[in-house]
Structure 1
Amino acid sequence: MSQPQTTTGVPVTIKSSKTVRWISFYKKLAKNKAALVGAFIIIAIVILGALAPLIATHEPNATNVMNKLQGPSAEHYLGTDQMGRDVFSRLLYGTQISLGIGFVSTLLGAIVGVVLGIISGYYGRWIDSLIMRICDVLLAFPGILLALAIVSVLGASTRNVIIAVAFYAIPSFARIVRGSTLSVKKLEYVDAIKAMGAKDGRIIFRHILPNIMSPIIVQATLYIASAIITASALSFLGMGTRPPQAEWGAMLSEGRAYLAQAPHVTLFPGIVILLVVIGFNMMGDGLRDALDPKSRK
């Protein structure tokens, strides 16, 4: 049977291999209800953060000591804090900062970690040993302690928090990418490409990197949650975002002295952090299952 022809006589492919892969990926992901719930949570919070200037009922940093520590009401949906600032508005604007730190730090850590991991796995020998030993040293420190040390040296600011969180992400990405690169490098088609005289750069970026994107995507999704927790912890300890910026960890820190009098000041930021972390973890687990070629579910 002949293939369908266009008006120019060129065969038409009904479903390309990429389309088939995307359909298979979507079907696997759609079957994972937890992943869909996680994706819904993340998308909803991202949209709320993006629309903060339109949704917020008050200026996030506008103070009114006459209305301090008020509970939720029609005027202040989630109440006010110790300075009379609207908690709802500050949470919305804090979404931009907290998610921004999570996304940017993960992106920076992934870029450096992927490059180091591919170099380590592809070239091996002393380069591999050197990179992996450095990663082992960095992984020997708990993430929050390493981030605290870096911020202590650089100073407390949003930019330095991003650098600190990104720095700890590097060894995690490097080890995952190295292992994937070692597996792909042994495949026959890579040997064939080398025999044809292809340069290392072409082999790495055109043939190896596209085939190891699945674990990178999964690791990035899961690490964003860890990055948000670390950034919030730094702000909670006074080593992160500086006042009066609205950041979830800083809001928790500012409200802890008023837990008995006004628990809503810390309750709502804590709930938002919990939801975001759960959302990213659920979606990361779903992506891992959907992108796993061995999964038959």
Structure 2
Amino acid sequence: MTDLLRRLMRTPQGAIGLLLLAVLAAACLFGPWLAPHDPEKMDFLGRFRPLGAQNWFGADQFGRDVLSRLLVGARSTLPMALAATLLGTVAGAVVGTASAYLGGRWDEAIMRTIDAVMAVPGLLLALLLVSTLGNGAGNAMIAIAVTFAPGMARVTRAVALTVRGQDYVKSATVRGESASWIIFREMLPNVMAPVVIEATIRVSFAVMLFATLSFLGLGAQPPASEWGLMVAEARQYVHQAPWIIIAPSLAIAMTAIAFNLLGDGLRDAMNPRDER
């Protein structure tokens, strides 16, 4: 792990990604204490107050401090995106590995089902699921996880097909180990490297998708300070106070860039050819 971190830091994209993630992690962990004002406190005399010493990132349509809402909102944006990616990755990795191990008709049936699900655009599938489950951040997280699972299953299956032919899998089969043992103890641990890289990159898509659902009113609900919801609430005031929509938009963009850079850095750091 130390060697991997050292190689990751040697790549420019990995170093920048880690730096940005450190800033985001600090906002998640210490946001409520770093916030200079109460994020829900309204000041109607300070509506649309521009950037200044009193409000570093300005004030919104209710006079609430934008910076404070950004810092507190990180707790409702990033953890939900990470949880959705984790759920989708775990489900997809298990299904993909099981499909590769079972082979034959089982593999064909599973993969054709996944192809059918992937034929539906991700955003449309998430909208359908949230509409069925109901509005709310928790249901949006489940919808995003289900949306990500098929793609992760295909990625995992491609790697697991190679692992299935390895000697340690054949030895486990000869020993009479059960299918679940072989899938979870022999194959899954050896397909995790590319899966982790893919999952890291998909976190950025989860952040944007979660923000999109909140923007459409299907994710977090007012008065939450979720970044996508902040953009949705500020869009009608963009000509009066552009800073109240620019700030959360930049936060979403920075998060997406951070995880994309980290994924690229991990890909290079975990490439055996880079050892030389």
- Does TM, normalized by the shorter one, top 0.5? yes
Which residue identity is paired with 1:79?
G
After TM superposition, the runs of 4+ consecutive aligned structure 1 residues lying more than 4 A away are none
- Match of 1:137? 116
Which residue identity is paired with 1:209?
L
Checking the alignment, whether the CA contact within 8 Å between 2:94 and 2:188 is kept in structure 1 is no
**1:223 Cα offset (Å):** 0.8
- Match of 1:72? 51
Match of 1:110 among 89, 94, 101: 89
**1:263 Cα offset (Å):** 0.6
Q: How many residues align?
A: 276
- Match of 1:210? 189
- Match of 2:78? 99
From the superposition, tell whether residues 67 and 23 of structure 1 become closer, same or farther in structure 2 (CA, over 3 Å): closer
Match of 2:231 among 240, 252, 260: 252
- Match of 2:178? 199
Q: Deviations over 1:170-199 (max 9, x none)?
A: 101111111111100111232123223333
Question: Is residue 223 from structure 1 mapped to residue 202 from structure 2 by the alignment?
Answer: yes
Question: Is residue 167 from structure 1 mapped to residue 136 from structure 2 by the alignment?
Answer: no
Where in structure 2 are the equivalents of 1:55-66 lying within 5 Å? 55-66=34-45
- Match of 2:259? 280
Checking the alignment, whether the CA contact within 8 Å between 2:46 and 2:59 is kept in structure 1 is yes
Gaps of 5+ in 1: 1-21
- Match of 1:127? 106
Larger radius of gyration: 1
Quick one: distance in 2 between partners of 1:198 and 1:143? Answer: 38
Q: Deviations over 1:82-111 (max 9, x none)?
A: 011110111011111110111110111112
Question: Is residue 265 from structure 1 mapped to residue 244 from structure 2 by the alignment?
Answer: yes
Q: What TM-score, normalized to structure 2? A: 0.95
Quick one: distance in 2 between partners of 1:128 and 1:94? Answer: 42
Which residue identity is paired with 1:221?
T
Question: Is residue 239 from structure 1 mapped to residue 196 from structure 2 by the alignment?
Answer: no
Question: Is residue 190 from structure 1 mapped to residue 169 from structure 2 by the alignment?
Answer: yes
Q: Deviations over 1:15-42 (max 9, x none)?
A: xxxxxxx455334322211111011101
Q: Deviations over 1:230-289 (max 9, x none)?
A: 011111122211000001111111111111111100011111111110010000011112
Checking the alignment, whether the CA contact within 8 Å between 2:210 and 2:228 is kept in structure 1 is yes
Which residue identity is paired with 2:27?
L
Determine helix, strand or coil for the equivalent of 2:239: coil
Q: Percent identity?
A: 37
Quick one: distance in 2 between partners of 1:255 and 1:144? Answer: 22
- Match of 2:10? 31
Q: What TM-score, normalized to structure 1? A: 0.89
Gaps of 5+ in 2: none
Quick one: distance in 2 between partners of 1:80 and 1:178? Answer: 49
Checking the alignment, whether the CA contact within 8 Å between 2:70 and 2:227 is kept in structure 1 is yes
Determine helix, strand or coil for the equivalent of 2:42: coil
From the superposition, tell whether residues 286 and 238 of structure 1 become closer, same or farther in structure 2 (CA, over 3 Å): same
**1:226 Cα offset (Å):** 0.2
Quick one: distance in 1 between partners of 2:180 and 2:131? Answer: 38
Quick one: distance in 2 between partners of 1:97 and 1:161? Answer: 12
